[in-house]
Amino acid sequence: MTAPDPFAEVRAEFVGGLGRRVETMHQALAELEAGFRADAAEVLYRAAHSLTGTAASFGADDLGEAAGDLEELARGWLQRGDAPADERRAAGAALKELDVAARAYRVTAAVGSARSPAARLAVVGELTSLISAAVDMREIFRGAIEKVQRVLDFRRASVVLVDESGAHYYLQTLFDKARGGFVTGDVAFPIAQGLTGEAIRTGRPVRVDALPGTEGILLQESRRISAMIVPLHVGDRVIGALNFGHEDEGHYTEDDLDWAVVLGRQIETSLYYSTLLNTIAQQREALAREHATVQGQRNQLEALIDASDAAIMLVGSDSRIAHANAEMARLVGIPHEAMVGASVQTIHRFLRGSFVDAAALVSQEHVLSLDASLRDRVELTFPRQATYQRVVAPARDSSGSVLGHIVLYRDVTHEVEVEKAKTEFVSVVSHELRTPMTSVKTSLALLLAGAGGALEPPAHELLEVALRNADRLIRLVNDLLDLSRLEAGRMELRLEPVALEEAVAASVEMVAAFAKARDVTVRIQPPAESHVVRAERDRVVQVIVNLLSNAIKFSPKGGRVDVRWWRKDRFVVAEVRDGGPGIPADQLKLVFDPFKQLDSSTTREHGGAGLGLTIAQRIAQALGGDVNAESEVGKGSRFFVTLPATQR
């Protein structure tokens, strides 16, 4: 004999008020959709908090979990005074789960129903068996309706599915008891109309006591009937609805609707697995043919990875390590056998203590959760102090779908030291060259001025050539010094408000002689209001001069270079536009690499070491901005300088 439930009365009261609690949360969230309101967030938080505690008391885990998600979201909104759109969508999904959990709980808590709870639970179990017994969608629907009619009275039952356009739903399966069973038909309805369309659009079940018989698929003309409509989900998408109709008004109760929702959930599970099994069946033969080839390719790939001196691991889409070589195991500090199959979170726990900058591992975790790539350098202290080139990139199949990520760490400590030594060498040599070159330039200038006596024309011409080349060499030395300081992070910047109009005017004045010699006009197009940037004036002038010199150099004879600037958000953008030959799209980024010219003919025709654009970009980046370019072959180029805006 079963002992009486001491909490039966309290449980019944909880079940009776469950619907009102859920509806209160729906209303509060609907108010928050129109804009954040603290009172609505407070109502949602209190209702969810109360339900979380009560559900835990009665062992309703599904209810408590969904309500707990809502409680946490609402608490965050109250603290921040804002309800972001993505979090509102998450709350909407949690409310849908709460709807289903509430109905399921009411079903299991119901006692003394007119229809046997045991029989209904037996039907639920039989529906579950459809998951493994049926693959065809129509077979699932027919089997479900045949089983449900044992515990749910209806004149008609049907399944409708949404078409590919999403604008209509059509009759997929129809059972009519008065017409002897399943009936074939081809009927479609606009999804924007009717109660069935409403259930599909909102994703919420509907029960009506007096529905006009001509509405929807029921077709009980000139009568009012009762109906239940349960939307069917696969993943986050509503694919159709399960409909029940009875000839009598008010025939269905909330308890019946709860059962219909639970049955619909079982059918959804069957649909999901039927789709999965069908896909597997279609691919099984192809996979069998490809297996030998794929296995051979995989063995080759793993052999290459194992032979590499870089530390490499393959992270699958399930966030587990599909393969790793011995170097990666040594880097992580665990046996190689423990790597394969471990979760990436476990591997990161071992790695975290090795990073000099802990934030570097956070960026790796972020990229692994996305369809994105990462390429940078990081410093680790284990198994020894070293600098590594890190590459994280998605691995894709032939269709472009992401299979996982490849993570590679290559020891570049020696390369970094060589680069540092090279930079130091260039800096020292350039510094040592500048003093004697300045002395040579001064001596040549004095000779040209007559300090050594009158000069014959041939001698005067030779000295002018020497002076021009001395100037050119000094500019190159200065560029090398600037580049080495920028690469080493040793360029000192004294930031202050700089009027961009004044900096542009000074820059244009400095290149005026060069532009005149090339027969190129420089036109300034100032905005209606002045703009001020936070920078160092001389460096801003240097950036603009470099861009202007580049534009003048590549402009045709009689051409024009335009300079204009404007405010954009927190920055000021200056544009230098020329009418030169333009830059091919695949080489646009290369122009910012040091010593890079597009081809040798460019170097011969225009001269220069290829450092001007590099230095301009590095200075702008050091000032908190950037330099980038746009171009179209045959239509010139546009270079943009972006610098942080400030007040005068």
The per-residue pLDDT for range 159-212, each reduced to its tens digit, is 888 888 888 998 888 888 878 888 877 788 899 888 899 999 988 899 998 887
DSSP codes of every residue in 520-532: -EEEEE--SS--E
Distance (Å, whole) CA 11 – CA 629: 69
Distance (Å, whole) CA 16 – CA 48: 17
Q: Would residue 400 be called left, alpha or beta, if left means φ above 0 and alpha means ψ between -120 and 50 degrees?
A: left
Within 10 angstroms of residue 239's Cβ, the number of other Cβ atoms is 19
* Fold (topology level) of 496-646: Heat Shock Protein 90 (3.30.565)
**Residue 135: what are its φ and ψ, rounded to 5°?**
-120, -40
Q: What 3-state class would DSSP assign to 603?
A: helix
pLDDT (0 to 100) of residue 105: 75
| Residue 485 reports pLDDT greater than 50 | yes
What is the band of 603 on the pLDDT scale with cuts at 50, 70, 90?
very low
Q: Poorest-confidence range of 219-223, 346-350, 461-465, 494-498?
A: 219-223
What is the band of 3 on the pLDDT scale with cuts at 50, 70, 90?
very low
Distance (Å, whole) CA 101 – CA 122: 19
What is the band of 640 on the pLDDT scale with cuts at 50, 70, 90?
very high
Max Cα separation, the chain? 131
pLDDT (0 to 100) of residue 600: 43
Q: What 3-state class would DSSP assign to 396?
A: strand
| Residue 607 reports pLDDT greater than 60 | no
Q: Tell whether the torsion through CA atoms of 172, 178, 181 and 183 is positive or negative.
A: negative
| Residue 242 reports pLDDT greater than 70 | yes
The contacts of residue 175 (CB under 8 Å, 6+ apart) are 142, 145, 146, 149, 156, 157, 158, 181, 182, 183
What is the band of 111 on the pLDDT scale with cuts at 50, 70, 90?
very low
Cα of 534 vs its chain's centroid, Å: 32
Q: What is the DSSP letter of 586?
A: G
State which amino acid sits at residue 84: P
Q: Poorest-confidence range of 36-40, 50-54, 115-119, 530-534?
A: 115-119
Give the architecture (CATH level 2) of 8-109: Up-down Bundle (1.20)
pLDDT (0 to 100) of residue 556: 93
Which CATH class name applies to 308-410? alpha beta
pTM: 0.42
What is the band of 376 on the pLDDT scale with cuts at 50, 70, 90?
very high
Per-residue pLDDT averaged across 389-416, rounded?
A: 89
pLDDT (0 to 100) of residue 355: 94
Within 10 angstroms of residue 244's Cβ, the number of other Cβ atoms is 28
Upstream peptide bond of 581 is cis (omega within 30 degrees of 0): no
Distance (Å, whole) CA 62 – CA 56: 9
Distance (Å, whole) CA 138 – CA 174: 10
CA dist list (Å): 539 to 18, 94, 542, 596: 68, 55, 5, 22
| Residue 219 reports pLDDT greater than 50 | no
| Residue 375 reports pLDDT greater than 50 | yes
**Residue 37: what are its φ and ψ, rounded to 5°?**
-135, 125
Q: Tell whether the torsion through CA atoms of 359, 490, 614 and 546 is positive or negative.
A: positive
| Residue with the larger pLDDT of the pair 264 and 190 | 190
Q: Poorest-confidence range of 119-123, 585-589, 602-606?
A: 602-606
| Residue with the larger pLDDT of the pair 206 and 4 | 206
What is the band of 379 on the pLDDT scale with cuts at 50, 70, 90?
very high
CA dist list (Å): 222 to 218, 233, 281, 459: 11, 32, 48, 116
What is the band of 308 on the pLDDT scale with cuts at 50, 70, 90?
confident
Q: What is the DSSP letter of 112?
A: S
Q: Tell whether the torsion through CA atoms of 360, 354, 486 and 595 is positive or negative.
A: negative
Give the architecture (CATH level 2) of 117-278: 2-Layer Sandwich (3.30)
| Residue 614 reports pLDDT greater than 70 | yes
> Per-residue pLDDT tens for 65-100?
888 888 899 999 999 899 998 889 888 888 888 887
Nearest CA among 271, 259, 86 for reference residue 173: 271
Top-ranked range on mean pLDDT: pick from 99-103, 220-224, 422-426, 444-448: 444-448
Nearest CA among 241, 105, 230 for reference residue 162: 241
pLDDT (0 to 100) of residue 1: 40
**Residue 153: what are its φ and ψ, rounded to 5°?**
-85, 130
Distance (Å, whole) CA 191 – CA 241: 11
The contacts of residue 320 (CB under 8 Å, 6+ apart) are 341, 342, 343, 344
Where in the chain are the domains?
A: 8-109, 117-278, 308-410, 416-488, 496-646
Top-ranked range on mean pLDDT: pick from 142-146, 431-435, 490-494, 634-638: 634-638
CATH for 416-488 is: 1.10.287.130
The reply to whether 117-278 and 308-410 are identical in fold is yes
